[in-house]
Amino acid sequence: MGPAELVQAAAMARRFYLEGKSKIQIAEEFGVSRFKVARVLETALERDLVRIEIRVPSELDAERSDALRARYGLRHAVVVESPADASEEAADPENLGEVAADLLGELVTEGDVLGLAWGRSTIHMAAALHRLPPCTVVQLTGVYDAGTADRGSVEAVRRAAEVSGGEAHPIYAPMLLPDPATAAALRGQTGIARAFEHFDKVTVACVSIGSWEPGVSTVYDMLSDDERAHYASLGAAAEMSAHLFDAEGRRIGRDLGERCITVEADRLRRIPEVVAIAGGRRKAAAIGAVLRSGLVTSLVTDTAAADHLLLETGPGPRPALERTDPDGA
């Protein structure tokens, strides 16, 4: 390209890429056909006169995010760079909660009902919230330890409601009870029953995922050795909101739910948007199991877990996109 051609190409590229003018408008301005404009713009790219860069914040991995979304039929997948000093034994990185807080700021709209389940990652997420449209916030599970309610999921519900300016419906009860009768009695108590009444109204839910091993599953840590062995014999590989799944994403140990204060799996499946927050190599297989269940529509994870998930060759996922669209389409 000679100097006149270079100058013209630069001007056309500026009009198209920076000023947002159409090829027809550019053609009219320069007195040429729109086909010539298209050729000039194409040549500008080939000759490196124009460079197109797609930039996202350095902590986000756009390529893995898109691959994970497509692989598991998710509505949204956000992959965060794993901390350089993270070990395989580490719990979910706190930065997952920060990214999940930003994602909820996008997904929640005015008038929604936001459900929060117990989990360290959801607690980190709530602490990082800075913006939410006016919405009602309801707790979806009991707490790990009723004595720590103010520092756990109850406080997460309060925090989210404070940010949004909406109503809060916490649950002041343990997640796991000694027997079904005690759990049923608690569900009938006024405050807990009021929270349960909102479960069918939840439009966006935020949940955590745990592996079936100590330190990475709240329910595992609450059970006796005999109970852990029993559910392990059934093939327990993952836990989410006190629901157990085998490696293929099938629900097992349904009797456990009768002893728990938690949202039922069928109700979770009816929620238009269920966002799971979980990461780390140690949780990767459990995340895959829950994704295959079809209960989760979106995922916030890290590169350590994503790399494992993208290499999995097990049973195909049950795409969450097959459920009803949140807009009713």
What pLDDT is stored for residue 47 in this prediction? 86
What pLDDT is stored for residue 143 in this prediction? 85
What pLDDT is stored for residue 328 in this prediction? 40
- How would you list the strands of the sheet with 113-116, edge to edge? 76-80, 298-302, 273-277, 204-208, 113-116, 136-139, 168-169
What pLDDT is stored for residue 207 in this prediction? 94
- pTM, two decimals, is 0.77
What pLDDT is stored for residue 140 in this prediction? 95
Low-confidence ranges of the chain (pLDDT < 70): 1-2, 53-58, 84-94, 145-151, 313-329
What pLDDT is stored for residue 58 in this prediction? 53
What pLDDT is stored for residue 159 in this prediction? 93
162-193: per-residue pLDDT in tens? 999 999 999 988 899 999 999 999 999 998 99
What pLDDT is stored for residue 320 in this prediction? 59
